[in-house]
Amino acid sequence: MAVRFLVILPLIVLTVLLSIGSGQSEDRSELGKVLHAMPPNGPFWKYGNVVMRRKSKKAGMAPVVFSHWNHRAKYTCRVCHLELEFGMRSGDTGITRAQYLAGKYCGVCHDGKTAFSVLDKDPSKCVKCHMKDTNALEERFEKFAEKLPQSSFGNGIDWANSLNNGLITPVNSIRAERLTIQFPDKLKEPLKLGTTSPRSDVTFSHEEHFAELDCSSCHPDTFKIKREGTESFSMRNNLYGNYCGSCHMRVAFPMNDCKRCHPKMSGSSGY
């Protein structure tokens, strides 16, 4: 089986440059700037992995590799980032061994019932999280990804399609008592974002995001609750991992996939 690896980025850059050749020089230079700042997509299996090494290293343990791709198939983002209070920036949570042994963070699920236990003292089991090498993880990814619809960037998996077609069925809560608010009817209409720059129109669906996230994942810290209320909200700042890029450069499909946010930029995506 072919290793799912991204080799087509230069081709895409070329396609975009050609497709905007007919535009004015201004939009060409804006797009050029965006493309210039765009980091290349790495190997699919690595996208969304968080490597935690600070505390492990001090204690002489191999780093912990947490992968979003296997967890997000089972749990929506809100389970971990709201219910279980994991931070949405790598390193923010500051997880310690004492905490997970006491049943917090990873220890909530890694209890021997839902998933392999953190309480297992057998040193050969520590490597399940403290990975000396990641070959086995990469192999499991290949098997996992085979069953899901493909995309060109990020994990090479079309997560939105997988979710909408029931190919993955992540749970929304692991604590029955948690209240989920009703999605407000008023937000059903997609928001029109984007600038006056040609083909920069963006359609943002609150509903699609609410399927996995809560209002507080974005408001008020990342976005103002008012259309066009968010300052310095440019493509460039997105690319540096702010705004949409806080998820769409790290876990959700990355910014390389222009057409999924800018439907009018035809020819600019790898599809």
Which spans in the chain are helix H?
A: 9-19, 25-37, 54-58, 68-71, 77-78, 97-101, 106-109, 123-126, 135-146, 159-164, 206-210, 235-239, 245-248, 258-261
List the interface residues with ligand HEC, window 160-179 (CB under 6 A): 160, 174
- The reply to whether 46 sits near ligand HEC by the rule CB under 6 A is no
List the interface residues with ligand HEC, window 134-153 (CB under 6 A): 137, 140
Pick 5 or 220: Cβ nearer ligand HEC: 220
Instruction: Count the site residues for ligand HEC by CB under 6 A.
Output: 111
What percent of the residues of the chain are helix, what percent strand, and what percent coil, each to the nearest 5?
Answer: 35, 5, 55
Contacting ligand HEC (CB under 6 A), which of 102, 228, 266, 271? Answer: 228
What's the chain's length in residues?
Answer: 271
- The reply to whether 251 sits near ligand HEC by the rule CB under 6 A is yes
- The reply to whether 47 sits near ligand HEC by the rule CB under 6 A is no
Q: Which of 145, 141, 171 is nearest to 158 (CA)?
A: 145
DSSP-derived secondary structure letter, 24: -
Contacting ligand HEC (CB under 6 A), which of 134, 172, 230, 242? Answer: 230
Contacting ligand HEC (CB under 6 A), which of 25, 113, 121, 169? Answer: 121
- The reply to whether 11 sits near ligand HEC by the rule CB under 6 A is no
Selected range binding ligand HEC among 1-9, 39-47, 212-220, rule: CB under 6 A: 212-220
The residue written with tokens 């090479």 in the block is 156
Number of Cβ within 10 Å of residue 262's Cβ equals 19
Distance of closest approach, residue 5 Cβ to ligand HEC, in angstroms: 19
Contacting ligand HEC (CB under 6 A), which of 87, 112, 220, 267? Answer: 87
Q: Under the phi-then-psi rule, with left for phi > 0, alpha for psi from -120 to 50, and beta for the rest, what region is 52?
A: beta
